Every structure is written in C-alpha cells, then in structure tokens.
Amino acid sequence: MNKMKPLIVANWKCNPTSLRKAKELFEQVVEGVKKEKNVQVVICPPFIYIPTFKQVAGKAVKIGCQDCHWEYHGAFTGEISASMAKDAGCEYIIIGHSERRRYFGETDDVVNKKLKAALEAGILPIFCIGETNEERRAGKTEAVLEGEINGGLEGINADDFSKITIAYEPIWAISDGDPYATKEMPTPENIKKAEVLIKDLVAENYGKKIVGAKIIYGGSVNAANSKSYLKEAGMSGLLVGGASLKAEEFVKIVKNV
C-alpha cells in the first residue's frame, strides 16, 4: 500500500495585502521546499493571487483556495464557484473553516453543499471541523464534532469521502495570526483522542474500512510544535495559519516533517 505523504497546508486567510508581498512570500516558500520529496505542500492564498501563482507553482507546491460557492455558476454576486477555482489552478479547497462558520454564518448544510460542489468540480476538499472553548468546557466536543461530521458529509458516498481530508481545528487553539501568542494549546494526547473520536464517527457513516481517513491538525502550529502533532499525535498533516505567512517559519515546518 502506498503510504500517503503528510499534507502541510498553508491557509493565508485574508493576507498579505498586495500581490507584490504575496508573490514574494510564495516564491520564498517554493524555493525553500522544492527539494522536499516526502511531503505535499499546499498553499491557499486569497483567490485574487491564484492565477499569478499558478505560473510559478511548479511541482513542489500545489495551490488551493479557502472557500467557494456551492452553485456551478449564476446570479450570486461576489461568489466564485468550485469549477472556477479548479480552472484557475486549484487542486485543493478549504471548506467549512471555523471563520467561515462564525463570520459568514455557514451552517453544516452549507458546508455539505460546498463539499459536494468541490467534489463535483474535481477539487480535493479539506473539510474543517472543531469545537469552541465554551463547547469544550461544557463537555460538548463529541456532540459538536458528531454534528459537523454527520451534517457535512450527508449524502457523500465512501468513494467521494476518500478524496476528503478532515482538518480538526479546535477553535480555542486558533491564533489571531501570531502562532507564538500565548494560547492554550491541545497536547498531542488531546489531539490523538479527538482523532480516534473522528475516526469512530466517520466509521459510523462509512463502515470500518475508513480507518485510513486522512485527518490533519490546525491551531497555532509553528516550527517548534509541528513535529509533536505529526509524530506524537500521528496526524496526517497540518493546517497552518499565522506561521504560513512567514516564509522561513513555514519552510521549517515543512522540513520538520
């Protein structure tokens, strides 16, 4: 059986503020990781930078986007469809990020429609789930993850599920852009526990053969802690926010794999 390469995904969110800065960062990352053969690096910039990056991406780095609309096309002012993202060069797409759920009101139903649209367009979805601090403190983590998994994956068959990577991002561990800000962080044991839970929930939907589900971790990942989430917690990869905006730091995370 082919062992999957760890997936290291950069979620740039709404950064950086100009094409010049974005291109500089992108090129520095490509240069820094181009010899790394045992890892798959994906950069998800704001939509507007994607066409420029497609020309300089090369094999070392794949391009993803951070969202899409669920419809193929039509009168949806301001939206971009999954097929447009695919046409622009995206191979991956982040769906259901907690910031989309929180600031843009995305429900599990919306996330489900977007996952289906991405699969239909032939883009590999990175499906985000995770609990808030209040939910965690109220002992609701399991119920929240169950709701997000069941709602998000509704009607998606096992074959399509095999194309999805689940990103577990406990919302309480996500930084405001500074991965070294003092934040409560989950331990590798916490993450391992969540991973087992997610695999059980997925198995309830797809049966036991899905034990190989790809689950990556996100939340204040930096070069100092990345290894522990991969090696100790055994995650299939990482979804990196703030630290992916610093080329040197992000390249270190990739090399740490």
Q: Residues in the site for ligand 13P, rule: CB under 6 A?
A: 11, 97, 169, 174-175, 177, 179, 218-221, 239-243
Q: 169 catalytic, yes or no?
A: yes
- Of 83 and 115, the one with the shorter C-beta distance to ligand 13P is 115
* Cβ–Cβ under 8 Å, residues 32 and 256: no
Burial of 43 (0-12, 13-18, 19+ CB in 10 A): buried
Name the token pair of 93.
Answer: 């797409």
Catalytic residue among 106, 169, 195, 249: 169
Quote the least distance from Cβ 89 to ligand 13P, whole Å: 20
Residue 94 Cβ, how far from ligand 13P at the closest point, in Å?
7
How far apart, in whole angstroms, are the C-alpha atoms of residue 140 and residue 130? Answer: 11
Distance CA 52, CA 63 (A): 11
Residue nearest to ligand 13P (CB): 241
Q: 66 or 83: whose CB is closer to ligand 13P?
A: 66
CB nearer to ligand 13P: give 11 or 112: 11
Q: Which of 97, 99, 195, 249 is catalytic?
A: 97
Q: How far is the CB of 72 from ligand 13P (least distance, A)?
A: 26
Question: ∠ at Cα 221 (218, 225), nearest 5°?
Answer: 125
Q: Look up tokens 């989950």; give the residue.
A: 186
Amino acid sitting at position 85: A
3-class DSSP state of 221? coil
Q: Are 44 and 97 in contact (CB under 8 A)?
A: no
Nearer to ligand 13P, 83 or 118 (CB): 118
Minimal distance in Å, beta carbon 151 to ligand 13P?
20
Residues linked to residue 69 through DSSP beta bridges, in sequence order: 81
Q: Which residues are catalytic?
A: 97, 169
